[in-house]
Structure 1
Amino acid sequence: MATLYDLLGVSDDASDADIKRAYRRAAMKAHPDRNMGREASAHAQFQELKEAYAILSDPAQRSVYDAVYAEEMGRLAREQEEEARLQEAARQEAYARHVAVAMRFAEQGYNRDVVFGALLAGDCETELAGRIADGALALHRSRQADNAMPREAGEPGEATPPSATHRATDEASRNADDRRHANFFSAIWHGMFGLHP
């Protein structure tokens, strides 16, 4: 935000003599008689300079201006800090939401393309969606690996050999998952391109 000091080209701690000198120099450049062909804009600039000098050359007006300006600058700084804080909170909330979506899809067994597509559908930026998808799938795989590690005999939660019933249930579950993945991917594909089976 430009100040009256900026308009005259001096610092806010300039002396009265510096302000007077700067005003004369700026007024000479902006005077309408010296700006043939652009008199209207020169006249407007000249008037601004006169008003700035009138305020800054009067000690009482200058002190009021400085106090008001300092208060306004403080208010603007506080507003900018609050806006930045709200933006950061919103960014973190969106990130947590994207991670939750990615983890949910990864835990359901979807591949990277589906996880990535779900994130893009949730308004996640492309590069961030790729990183989150990769991270969620890596975390899911590491959890699966931890759960699949053989346990020592007598250790709590010791794995027992799967029975024929368990194998049949797992097979049916995998087939259902495959169909669900195909249906989900098909729905996304048809939704994106307007194709219908």
Structure 2
Amino acid sequence: MNTLYATLGVQSDATLDEIKLAYRRAAMKWHPDRNPGREAEAHAAFQQIRDAYSILSDAEQRQVYDDVFEREMRRWEAEQAAEEAEAREAQEAARRAAQEHYEKMVAIAMRFADDGHTRDVLFGVLLGRDCEADLAGRIADSVWALHESRRAVDKAGVAPSPGAAPAEAEKPVSAFETFWQGMFRFR
């Protein structure tokens, strides 16, 4: 916000002599005759300087300006504070909504995992529930890993070591399957 004081380049508590000196300097700098090629810009700046000086050099007009400026600054600051508070409230509401959505998606994934569905089914269900793909993938991975670790604990009766792969269903493996898995690394 450009004030009349800023136009002349003085502080708001400047004396009349300081205002006169600042006016002379600014007038010399922005006089249209001293700015060839930039006459329109210089004329506008020179006019602002003259207007600022005419108000600030008159004690009564300066007092009125200071009072109005102070009142308007308080109003503007109050408006800014209200806008900032409104923006903070909107951000908090968006954060709460995102948290609620996340919790809802985790609950859905947990329910489907408890029903015995695979990680890919969890992922697909979450996508079908308007969950973003990245978030759906993270939730499906986490819930599936949790579900598999619980299943491993239930089967073995002990907790798996950290970083261990989820246990697969125990079934007898034939010699052919062992050979096949060793050669091609899949079932």
Do they fold alike, i.e. is TM over 0.5?
yes
Query: 1:14 corresponds to which residue?
Result: 14
1:76-115 matched pairs, under 5 angstroms: 76-109=76-109
Amino acid at match of 1:109: A
Query: 1:34 corresponds to which residue?
Result: 34
Are the structure 2 counterparts of residues 74 and 25 from structure 1 closer, same or farther at C-alpha, using a change threshold of 3 Å?
same
Are the structure 2 counterparts of residues 106 and 69 from structure 1 closer, same or farther at C-alpha, using a change threshold of 3 Å?
same
Are the structure 2 counterparts of residues 94 and 40 from structure 1 closer, same or farther at C-alpha, using a change threshold of 3 Å?
same
What is the Cα-based RMSD across aligned positions, in Å? 2.8
Are the structure 2 counterparts of residues 35 and 173 from structure 1 closer, same or farther at C-alpha, using a change threshold of 3 Å?
same
Separation of aligned partners in 2, 1:33 and 1:65:
30
* TM-score between both structures, scaled by the size of structure 1: 0.59
Are the structure 2 counterparts of residues 174 and 8 from structure 1 closer, same or farther at C-alpha, using a change threshold of 3 Å?
same
State the 1:181 CA deviation. Answer: 4.8
Are the structure 2 counterparts of residues 109 and 52 from structure 1 closer, same or farther at C-alpha, using a change threshold of 3 Å?
same
Query: 2:142 corresponds to which residue?
Result: none
State the 1:178 CA deviation. Answer: 7.2
Gaps of 5+ in 2: 134-187
Amino acid at match of 1:87: A
CA contact (8 A) 2:8 2:49 kept: yes
Separation of aligned partners in 2, 1:187 and 1:63:
64
Are the structure 2 counterparts of residues 43 and 57 from structure 1 closer, same or farther at C-alpha, using a change threshold of 3 Å?
same
Separation of aligned partners in 1, 2:62 and 2:2:
16
State the 1:109 CA deviation. Answer: 1.9
Query: 1:173 corresponds to which residue?
Result: 115
State the 1:175 CA deviation. Answer: 4.2
Query: 1:147 corresponds to which residue?
Result: none
Query: 1:131 corresponds to which residue?
Result: none
Amino acid at match of 1:42: A
1:77-121 deviation per Cα after TM superposition (whole angstroms, max 9, x unaligned): 0011001111111111111111111011111226xxxxxxxxxxx
Separation of aligned partners in 2, 1:81 and 1:5:
25
1:139-182 deviation per Cα after TM superposition (whole angstroms, max 9, x unaligned): xxxxxxxxxxxxxxxxxxxxxxxxxxxxxxx9993349975653
State the 1:185 CA deviation. Answer: 3.3
Runs ≥4 in structure 1, deviation > 2 angstroms? 170-189
Amino acid at match of 1:101: H
The total of aligned residue pairs comes to 131
CA contact (8 A) 2:55 2:61 kept: yes
Query: 2:124 corresponds to which residue?
Result: 182
State the 1:186 CA deviation. Answer: 6.3
State the 1:20 CA deviation. Answer: 0.4
